[in-house]
Amino acid sequence: MEPRTLAALAVVLIAAAVFAAVHFWSARPHSVRAPDPVNEAAHARTSSPVTDDAGAREPSPGPPLTTGPGGHIVVDVSGKLRSPGIRQLPSGARVADALRAAGGARPGVDLTGINRARVLMDGEQIVVGAPPGSPAAGSTGGAAAGGGSPTSGPVSLNRATLEQLDTLPGVGPVLAQHIVDYRTQHGGFRSVDELREVNGIGDRRFADLQPLVGP
């Protein structure tokens, strides 16, 4: 064979050997690295919290009761009681608690017209056994316990109780509560004209109430 042919054959053989070596090297088995374990703490941080019925939010409470300093209220319990006077009661106390703190009513006093389940407000006066229309039942803006008739003189919008407001013409329990809510939220009535801003009181009802109430 000629030298040129031998040289070409040698080049072909060398190229074939290199190709076989590369193919063999790339086809060899490789070790595979196992994936890292997932961090449970990181998973807990990234996953969204699950809320069940037990973790549901409680409904927001209603407006806070009118209380005095230290979570207590001070009321004036007077009238036909065994031990009338000023009494300090825990916030949320009711008329029945005030009557009990004053020793209860004297024998023979009719308590039929008293709403003993009503929640008291700080600075309130409760008069037990006062006759309807007497100054004691109306001049202080307290609760005329034992008498359900309207009291003489203007009714104080800032000091009247729900029972007193309920006796006004055209004012029922719902509207009386709106008046109490308004004075609680706004720090009281500065004038009778503010009664127009109470929910449920229009011009006609305001005209009926204007001569009967005061701030």
pLDDT at 25: 67
pLDDT at 19: 75
Report the phi/psi class of residue 70: left, alpha or beta, with left for phi > 0 and alpha for psi in -120 to 50.
left
pLDDT at 145: 46
Tokens of 74: 């001070």
pLDDT above 90 (res 90): yes
The 10s digit of each residue's pLDDT in 117-167 is: 888 988 888 888 765 544 444 333 444 444 444 445 688 898 888 888 888
Phi, psi of 138 (to 5 degrees): -125, -20
Cα distance between residue 145 and residue 114, in whole Å:
5
pTM over 0.85? The answer is: no
pLDDT at 121: 87
